[in-house]
Structure 1
């Protein structure tokens, strides 16, 4: 009887402790703030003044119930310190770093382009200011997936004191070292609203729900943090989709209608499917008999300041759909799916960005050497399509000889004596197509005795055939 009583007593104690633990855990979860907004401001370059201006915008809003706004700021002139702030609306001091009462940590000079520094800031913010939802803002210069200068491939976060920058691979490295899922990864930086950037984020071990970025360059003033945070202040429980969707409208509304600004929120969970449709389009482009029309599309699609090879994906596919019959299905599929990937978008009605739809893609012919190091290029054939377009100048003096015995001999001359490694031969029984790829001709191994470039041996006497060589 005593043993039974002791077992019962022990069971009761264990049960009581479990209940207390559950209540305590639930209390912790319930008491966590709604949002922690982590703003990573690299003002260690010519945007230094804009960095302090944006910090001032945040301080004018002050503290928000249920929301932590934490900032790491590094400026250009001070090469000995970097500061971490918890925004509460502190009074502005006369000298930098201005808001002394909101500084929660003084650091030595940091290379903000070091992925370890970025990772440490995020993990510090999550540990010290836990929340139910997280947003990261990467604040600085940006150049999409690639370069600032022709000789120096760049991505985002340019730290001039350290002469360094974050590549897409380093961004992936930093975010994979974070201890908590980030719901929104956003870029208050130029040109980051690209398929290639979104695809990089989709490769994370724990991808964000949404990405926010601009197809176009951003003015130095960047985001209107006061407008965005004031809206969050009125509804601090908003879901990630609502916050991601809020930013674009506040941003574009803060500039004149002819400023030429863009901003969009992208559903990262749908980037894989979009990339598959782009891959299908890339294969269609490589096998198309209408390379000149495709080249026209690449040359006339919506592009962005200083980057004629950053093309609005929707507008590019729209032009291809209208003018390239053998890529029509694939282009249409991309167009249709973009409306699902872009959950919110706005752009200036004037200023040269009128044909923007929220996400751009790289379209330089041929692509830069570094492009094929990107995850997007490695996992799709888009880079191969760009190479095919660049080397697809049609030959001159194409002649289809008289057919005989079920054969048609074809000859041509290379364009301006620039002979590629191979040619593609297309055939149709209708003038104007559609054309079917029937052969790839390796220029190093022609073996026809009468100097024909290719002999079509799959024809029927008495029928007329039309050919395109590219």
Structure 2
């Protein structure tokens, strides 16, 4: 038996040893000669930077290296170039000038490890990454790199450029307008600005050919054509990656940023549409394909990726792009048509030496907001600068938070209160049948509103978002915005299945994806609210109360999210009908009686004395946001307006008209980026939905047209007619609506 002991012992030892998987070797070549590292090998760190022992690389490039143990600083000298790299610092000094880097030098087993690109390029060498062989290729024969920054702008013109206004006889020209801003900037010979144009049927700028994609340089107030690249679909990831790879190779620099210009629809709809290719756009997996191809070929990690587009400041977008950039610059809300201020952006790049994504992002945000103020579109704007290296904390907290909510959601009795908390959370983009629904909730506010069910992880999640959003701007309507959104199903129930299928493919914690699916299933499976009519009673005014009172059962009271008042104006004539003036928050809840009292006293919102159909899209403690359907110069739009509570006014507050937007595109479902500011001479015509008494049917009708003037405004005032009906409009936690009978009030 002893002769079997040794083999058995060997087998036992072999299976007891820890199993390790060696990472593929990273090779470094200087002028085609492989550099041998005797002890510490190159590696890729958590910031996706290739770290190498600096002495071997520097000496291979003909530089001398010294070490100051007191200050823990490496000094590299080659000719008239002196670099100083302090250990642990994100600032390096080159000939006395301080530059920001995103990864500091570190000590590993006595070797100073640095990100290879920075010192090699500062020493006048070209650095390339070969993803296929995992090799860093350094070439000192290339002329010294002098450019500090290369800015890429993917200018997909689409209808933002080509939309034609029959009344004025002009095209929208938003892309051309931003090109003009670029041309007005103060430039620098150390900053490259490269633009690819395409994606639209018409360019207002006569120099640009709409039949093909073109690449341009913007320098010294000149737009220079670099090359024609033929017709390409800007909704194809290969078109994007081809542009980026070309730019990085032709215009290498120490720092890079890219702006993706066009429509944005958030994580479910994606970014951009190319109107020459049936409205094809880039969904998030395609954006990842594009930037993955860039990273594989060049090894470049952008200082920032920015979206001059609507609704792209979401966790899904941030997670998707985190391997490819340090910062994301994007908006939670719809952007106004003028978008970013490119004069400010390019001028600031020419003047700065801080090319970090955070610094440039702040400059973009400040310039954008100031331009919005100048254009009078600042009311609801947002723009965030998000540190993509801080997403792990958000995803970890969200995962634990979602697990707690899922455990709570198992109890059907908790569904109502959870849903009502979701209802109260700010949602960006469309929030009505006229503008569509996005269901993009503010992530931190989502956590705060649902903190009852997971207090520890709600706080952890909100704190993580606050740390990741390093800078943001917002207008007064969105002053509570926290900088990052996420898709969570609530309003758009007709599209839950399709939207959740898209979300399931995105980079999110699995527990959150499961929570969204579970919540949507329970929400759509709720019992029909119309079957609960027997749980409500309406009492008419008495000598003790001048108002109608809505009393509901205890069970229904628990499920109610909101109670509004709907108002109808009776119109006699050839077609007797009740014209719907919409609904408003004109009820008061009495806690003692657990009932609702109407507060309709014959006043309504008037637009130059014309009653209009009001729809609430969001309400908070200090304001109510409305969407109002109407024709503007015979084109259907939704007028956005806000009521601010203010006791200094006799009416209890005042209205602010934000502007008008067209409905979502019927083909692409992209929201309208152009906010239309009303101007003197515009023709305005209200749209109503009327109830025909003879047939019992509803039909849409137009009200009396009027001309907008500089004195036009929304007011809360007395209605001129004398015959009105109103009803209570009950909305439950699942979004279902139950309307009571009509009640007549004579004024």
For normalisation by structure 1, the TM-score amounts to 0.71
> Structure 2: how far apart are the matches of 1:245 and 1:374?
32
> Displacement, 1:21?
9.0
Residue of structure 1 equivalent to 2:502: 371
Does the CA contact (< 8 Å) of 1:58 and 1:229 recur in 2? yes
Are 1:106 and 2:228 matched, yes or no? yes
Q: 1:337 aligns with which of 464, 473, 476?
A: 464
- The match for 1:38 is 152
Picking from 282, 305, 309, the partner of 1:189 is 309
> Could you tell me which residue of structure 1 aligns to residue 284 of structure 2?
168
Q: Distance in 2 between matches of 1:304 and 1:19?
A: 53
Q: Indicate the structure with greater helix content.
A: 1
CA distance in 2, matches of 1:237, 1:415: 58
Once residues 18 and 338 of structure 1 are traced to their aligned partners in structure 2, the CA distance between those partners, rounded to angstroms, is: 44
Conserved 8 A contact 1:199-1:272:
no
Cross-structure match for 2:441: 311
Shift, 1:230, TM fit: 1.6
Matched, 1:267 2:267: no
**Residues of 2 paired with 1:108 and 1:44: CA distance?**
17
8 Å CA contact 2:148–2:255 kept in 1: the answer is yes
Q: Counterpart of 2:710?
A: none
CA distance in 1, matches of 2:196, 2:524: 54
- Please give the alpha-carbon distance, in whole angstroms, between the structure 2 residues aligned to 1:145 and 1:311: 12
Q: 1:358 aligns with which of 483, 494, 497?
A: 483
**Deviation of the 1:317 alpha carbon:** 1.4
Does residue 55 (structure 1) correspond to residue 179 (structure 2)? The answer is yes
Larger radius of gyration, structure 1 or 2? Answer: 2
1:67, 1:236 within 8 Å by CA — same for their partners in 2?
no
Q: Give the aligned partner of residue 277 of structure 1.
A: 397
> Is 1:287 matched up with 2:407?
yes
Match of 1:198 among 318, 341, 357: 318
The DSSP-based 3-state class of the residue aligned with 2:290 is helix
C-alpha deviations, 1:259-298, integer Å up to 9, x for none?
3100001111111221121111111111115332221121
CA contact (8 A) 2:369 2:473 kept: yes
1:28 matched to which residue of 2? 125
Structure 2 residue 445 is the aligned partner of structure 1 residue 302: no
The correspondence for 1:250, drawn from 358, 367, 371, is: 367
Matched residues in 2 for 1:386 and 1:253: separation?
37
What is the aligned counterpart of 1:71 among 181, 184, 195?
Answer: 195
C-alpha deviations, 1:323-344, integer Å up to 9, x for none?
x2x3222211111111111011
Aligned to 1:348: 475
Q: 1:236 to 1:103 in 2, by over 3 A?
A: farther
Q: What is the distance in 2 between the residues matched to 1:27 and 1:71?
A: 26
In structure 1, how many angstroms separate the alpha carbons of the residues matched to 2:382 and 2:465?
Answer: 16
Higher strand share: 2
SS at match of 2:193: strand
Which of the numbers 504, 514, 527 marks the counterpart of 1:384?
514
Q: 2:273 aligns with which of 158, 182, 189?
A: 158
- 2:213–2:228 Cα contact (<8 Å) kept: yes
Q: CA-atom RMSD, angstroms?
A: 2.5
Match in the other structure for 1:445: none
The answer to whether the 8 A contact 1:66-1:236 is kept is no
Counterparts of 2:371 and 2:312 in 1: how far apart (Å)?
19
Deviation, structure 1 residue 20: 5.4
Which position in structure 2 is the counterpart of 1:85? 216
Match of 1:135 among 257, 264, 280: 257
Higher relative contact order (CA 8 A, sep 6+): 1
Report matched runs for 1:316-331 at 5 Å.
316-321=446-451, 324=452, 326-331=453-458
* 1:405-448 residue CA offsets vs partner (Å, 9 max, x unmatched): xxxxxxxxx9469xxxxxxxxxxxxxxxxxxxxxxxxxxxxxxx
- Secondary structure of the structure 1 residue equivalent to 2:228: strand
**Separation in structure 2 between the aligned mates of residue 394 and residue 71 of structure 1, nearest angstrom:** 46
Q: Equivalents in 2 of 1:132, 1:20: separation in Å?
A: 21
Find the aligned partners of 1:19 and 1:227 in 2 and give their Cα distance: 39
Deviation at 1:47, TM superposition (A): 3.4
Q: For 2:425 and 2:332, how far apart are their aligned partners in 1?
A: 13
Shift in Å at residue 383 of structure 1? Answer: 2.0
Q: TM-score, normalised by structure 2?
A: 0.45
CA distance in 2, matches of 1:134, 1:193: 20
User: Are the aligned partners of 2:194 and 2:215 in contact in 1 as well (CA < 8 Å)?
Assistant: yes
| Cα distance change on mapping 1:381 and 1:28 into 2, 3 Å | same
- Structure 1 residues 157 and 236, CA, compared in 2 at 3 Å: closer, same or farther? farther
**For residues 118 and 393 of structure 1, what CA distance do their matches in structure 2 show?**
39
Q: How many aligned positions are there?
A: 358
Give the conservation status (yes or no) of the 8 Å contact 2:201–2:211.
no
